[in-house]
Structure 1
Amino acid sequence: MKTIAVLNQKGGVGKTTTTINLADVLAKQGKQVLVVDLDPQGNLSKVISGGEVRFDPNVMDLFAKDNKADVRAMIRSAYDSENFFYIPTDIRLSRVIEAGLTLSFREVRLTNHLNKLKDDFDYILLDCPPNLSLTTTNAIVAADLFLMPVNSGVFALDGLEDLLDALNEVSQDQSLNYYVFRNEVAAQNKVINGAIEEDLLQIAEGRILKTSIRRSEHIGQASFMSMPLSKYKKGSTAINDYKSLAKEIIGLFK
């Protein structure tokens, strides 16, 4: 089992769409894949479930004080797939996070629960909130790989250095296994692309994936329709980008 945390302190960079479409590609390749929604906004859960906003049980139960949650009881099939599964969350997770700050061993709650699933899944993807909350620190402890999407916005790199510092502090691992990749890339924006890539080389110290995800209106439309991109628009060029991303990530574990 390989655990991948998709994270960035900046919102709107494509963490959720990356998680869904990467998981979809891996599942279509025959991998057993589980995605875990760790963001109280619950956007991933809403998309995959087709619009649900309340789930029982859900991720918040993993951080309950009594620590008696059954993680397997939370797992749902995504899109009726035999390989793609998810654990949902909803807005109630926010209250649990606040209360969880006083829990014993609070940073390893998620790790302990996911370890129960190590023989059930090939990949577990963790969709993290845009902050360093309790669920994010749990994801950092649990993950084997940190995947950071960076888009082409004006403030695309804001917070990336702070995030890397936080990763080092929480993980306490000198060989931190993280990679950054470009998301929502418009080929015609050569000046912006060049500037971002130059800054990334310095901030991420060269740990940049070769794959980038091209900007496509189909990605947002697919999320709006509660579908992975491959199901919404089979001919979308961005599908090949997600396939390349999956291939590159699989290669990182060899």
Structure 2
Amino acid sequence: MKDDVTKADAPKLKDDIRSFDQRLREEADADLADVLPTETTKMTQIIAIYGKGGIGKSFTLANLSHMMAEQGKRVLLIGCDPKSDTTSLLFGGKACPTIIETSTRKKLAGEEVAIGDVCFKRGGVFAMELGGPEVGRGCGGRGIIHGFELLEKLGFHDWDFDYVLLDFLGDVVCGGFGLPIARDMAQKVILVGSNDLQSLYVANNVCSAVEYFRKLGGNVGVAGLVINKDDGSGEAQAFAEAAGIPVLAAIPQADDLRKKSANYQIVGTQQSQWGALFAELGMNAAVAPPVRPTPLDQDGLLALFDGSETGADVVLEPASDADMRGKDAEPKASLEVIYDDA
């Protein structure tokens, strides 16, 4: 879509956006919430993965996609995080040219973007990054929407994949970041979290977004939770049970995994000691039906943790007008009119 739009272009632009929205809905129109795990479907599964920044989505996705490809599936991995780090592990730390920056460069040169400019492959996985604007120079969510508009021009709806995995920043579920949920672009969501309050807070927010749009007639559901850096303390498992979603895998807090991830080594392969774990995750992610979650309120989240660690026993103490005015404040006469009973 052009950056500079004239008034004459506005009607066509609205039609293009409306058409794009409709195409996204048609891509994932079937409500899979009642599909049994034993049933199979030939349609492409579009799965959006959400989680708190730094929780390990990229690590999980790179290894999950690699394992799915080893299992004979055609997999497309799309990074939808402005940090553009989704494909880093898959490509050994090498930066993948993003769709947005490539489009900008090609446009200035008067050229069209080609598949080979933005999509790369390794181990049977096809991968690309949407990218985002420079700091302070644009909206990341709008960049996501623009990126998918470019994907449509490249033929996104005609591509033949068994799975399309979308890596979304879970801290924000508005605008472009909420695209898969708000516009029925995906059939289901996978959450990545850990046994800490902040990551489960983000996971719970995504559950709330899913439930909100289901009430509006949407079809997206939650397939389950992947517990990353699992130390066995149990809070993430308790959250999954309370929210009514399954745990798809528990990736342990292991020094070997940390080192391999830091060195951009793939462990989602049968040759790795962790291969069985990611093979099971691949199977679970494939067959898990999208369910309607039961989001927790703030007190419910805090109740998953030891109160001495979360401050759950804190009592709200109302502030007074004197508190707000400070120590030198002078009382002022009220302007309220008081009428006699007579």
Structure 2 match to 1:127: 167
Aligned to 1:28: 70
Residues 122 and 108 from structure 1, CA distance in 2 versus in 1: closer, same or farther, beyond 3 angstroms?
A: same
The alignment status of 1:198 with 2:238, answered yes or no, reads yes
Structure 1 residues 129 and 168: CA distance shift in structure 2, 3 A: same
Separation in 2 of the partners of 1:106 and 1:91? Answer: 10
1:228: how far off?
1.4
Give me the TM-score of the superposition, normalised by structure 1. Answer: 0.75
Structure 1: give runs of 5+ residues left out of the alignment: none
Q: Secondary structure at the match of 2:251?
A: coil
What secondary structure sits across from 1:183 in the alignment?
A: strand
Q: Does 1:138 align with 2:183?
A: no
Aligned to 1:252: 288
Q: State the shift of 1:244 in Å.
A: 0.8
Amino acid aligned to 2:228: N
Give the gaps of 5 or more residues in structure 2: 1-43, 291-342
Whether 1:163 and 2:203 are equivalent positions in the alignment is no
Structure-1 residue corresponding to 2:193: 150
Name the SS for the 1:46 alignment partner.
coil
Q: Deviation digits for residues 31-85 of structure 1, max 9, x if unmatched?
A: 1111011111122233233333462x52566899x9x75556421012xx3x211
**Deviation (angstroms), 1:93:** 6.5
Contact 1:36-1:125 at 8 Å conserved across structures: yes
Deviations 1:154-207 (A, max 9, x none): 434113332222234456445542122322223xx3xx21x44233322x2x21
Q: Secondary structure at the match of 2:173?
A: coil
RCO greater where, 1 or 2, for CA within 8 Å and sep 6 or more? 1
TM-score by length of 2: 0.58
Pair 74,98 (structure 1): closer, same or farther in 2 beyond 3 Å: same
What secondary structure, in the 3-state scheme, does the structure 1 residue paired with 2:53 have? coil
Q: What secondary structure sits across from 1:5 in the alignment? A: strand
Q: What are the residue-to-residue correspondences of 1:75-90 with 2, within 5 Å?
A: 75-78=119-122, 81=123, 83-90=124-131
CA RMSD in angstroms comes to 3.6
Tell me how far 1:3 sits from its aligned partner: 0.9
Matches within 5 A, 1:153-232: 153-169=196-212, 172-173=216-217, 176-178=220-222, 179-186=224-231, 189=232, 192-193=233-234, 195-202=235-242, 204=243, 206-230=244-268
Closer/same/farther in 2, CA of residues 198 and 47 from structure 1, 3 Å limit = closer
**Residue in 1 that maps onto 2:59:** 17
Larger Rg, first or second structure (1 or 2): 2
Count of matched residue positions in the alignment of Structure 1 and Structure 2: 237
The change in CA–CA distance for 1:63 and 1:125 in structure 2 (over 3 A counts) is farther
Quote how far apart the aligned CAs of 1:242 are.
Answer: 1.3
